[in-house]
Amino acid sequence: MRLVALAGGVGAARFLRGLVRVVDPADLTVIVNTGDDREFYGVHVSPDLDIVIYTLAGRVDPEKGYGLEGDQFSVVDALADLGHETWFRLGDRDLATALHRSLRLREGAGLAEITDEIRCAYGVDVCILPMTEDPVPTFVELSDGSRAHFEEYLARDGAPDDVSGVDLAAAAAAQPAPGVLEAIDAAELILVCPSNPVVSIGPILATAGMRSAVIECQAPVIGISPIIGGAPVKGPADRLLRGIGVEVSARGVAGHYKGLLDGIVIDDRDAAQRADVEALGMACVVTETLMRTPEIAASLAQTSLDLGAMVRSSR
Ligand code: GDP
Ligand code: CA
C-alpha cells in the first residue's frame, strides 16, 4: 500500500521510526517541512529533513532528538572564539551535511535531489522529499509587533509565550518539490505525523496547492495528536497554537485539522475528548501515543494504519 506521511522534525521522526517497523519502507514517501530552513555559518541547514534522516538511520542523538549521536562541536566552538554568535549549536558532522547541501545547491542541484543523496548516504531506504525547493522561511510574530525567523524564535529567543501569529506567506507562494504532488496523488493512505500543527504541518499544507491536493485525493487522511493531556511532549506547540487561537488540547488539534483529516489518534489521557472530536466529523481512536520506545511508536503506527483501513471500508 502506497503511503505518504507529512512530517516535521522530532515528533514526526519518532513516529516514522515506528512506522517503518510495520510497513514496507519502499511503500513510504515522507514529505518534510522546510519552513525552518535557514543559513547558519554560511551553510544551508534543513533541520527537519536532517532530523528525519538521522532518526531513520538510527544515528540521531537520542537525548536531544536532533543532531548526530556522539557529534563534536569543534567548529561552532572555534567560531565562538572568533566572535561569532553561536546560539544555533550545529555539530561538526551535522555541519558537513549542511555544507554538502550548500555545495550541491551551488552546483545547481535541487533540494529534492540533494536530500535523496543524503538519505542514501545514511542508508535510509524511505523516500524523503522536501515539501518545496523554494526558500520558505516561517516567521513568528509577537504581540510587541516584532517578528523572528522560526529558528530565531525557538533557539535564540527561547520560544517566548506572547505569540500573536505565524507568517507562512513564503510557503504559500512556493511550488511543491518535484515528486510531492505525484506522491499524494498515488497515495492510498496519508498520515499527518504527531508534529507541530502550526510550524511543521502548517507550512506543508500552506505550500501552493498542497491542502487541496491532500483533501481531494482518494486516500483517507489520518492524523496523530502531538498534544497529550493539554500539553506538547516537547517544544513550543502550546505557545504557537494559543498564538493562532487554537485550544491546546487533542480536541483543539482535531478542530484545527477539521476538513483535512478523516480520522485522528489521540492519547489515553485525552479519552474524555473523544466525543467532542467525533462531533467534528472525524473518526477517533484512543491509545498510548507517548512514544517512549520504538515498540510503542510501532504500535501507534499500526493503530493509525488500522484507523485508515476502517475509514476506507466505511466509505
Ligand atoms: P520539531 O520540528 O523538531 O519541533 O518536530 P515536530 O514538529 O515533528 O514535532 C514536535 C511535536 O512533536 C511537539 O508538538 C510534540 O508534542 C510532539 N511529540 C514529540 N514526541 C511525541 C510523542 O512521543 N507522542 C506524541 N503524540 N507527540 C510527540
Ligand atoms: Ca522543525
CA of 310 to the centre of ligand 2 (A): 31
Q: 194 C-alpha to center of ligand 1: Å?
A: 6
Ligand 1 atom closest to the CA of 296, numbered from 1:
23
Superfamily per CATH, domain 3-136+168-314? CofD-like domains (3.40.50.10680)
What CA–CA distance (Å, rounded) separates 30 from 28? 6
CA 48 to ligand 1: nearest atom: 2
SS3 32: strand
Tens of pLDDT, residues 6-64: 999 999 999 999 999 999 999 999 999 999 999 999 999 999 999 999 999 999 999 99
- Answering whether pTM is above 0.85, one says yes
pLDDT digits (tens, 9 = 90+) for 34-46: 999 999 999 999 9
Give residue limits of the domains in the chain.
3-136+168-314
Index of the ligand 1 atom closest to the CA of residue 196:
7
pLDDT tens sequence across 79-130: 999 999 999 999 999 999 999 999 999 999 999 999 999 999 999 999 999 9
Q: Pick the ligand that lies closest to the CA of residue 8.
A: 1
Question: Would you state the pLDDT for residue 301?
Answer: 98
How far away, in angstroms, is 251 Cα from ligand 1 center? 16
Q: In the chain, what percentage of residues exceed pLDDT 90?
A: 100
60: left (phi over 0), alpha (psi -120 to 50) or beta: beta
Q: Which of 16, 231, 215 is nearest to 127 (CA)?
A: 16
pLDDT at 260: 98
Ligand 1 mean position, distance from CA 200 (Å): 10
- Report the sign of the C-alpha dihedral through residues 84, 37, 136, 177, in that order: positive
Pick the ligand that lies closest to the CA of residue 7. 1
The pocket around ligand 1, CB under 6 angstroms, is made up of 8-12, 14, 48, 51, 194-196, 200, 224-226, 228, 232-235, 237, 289-291
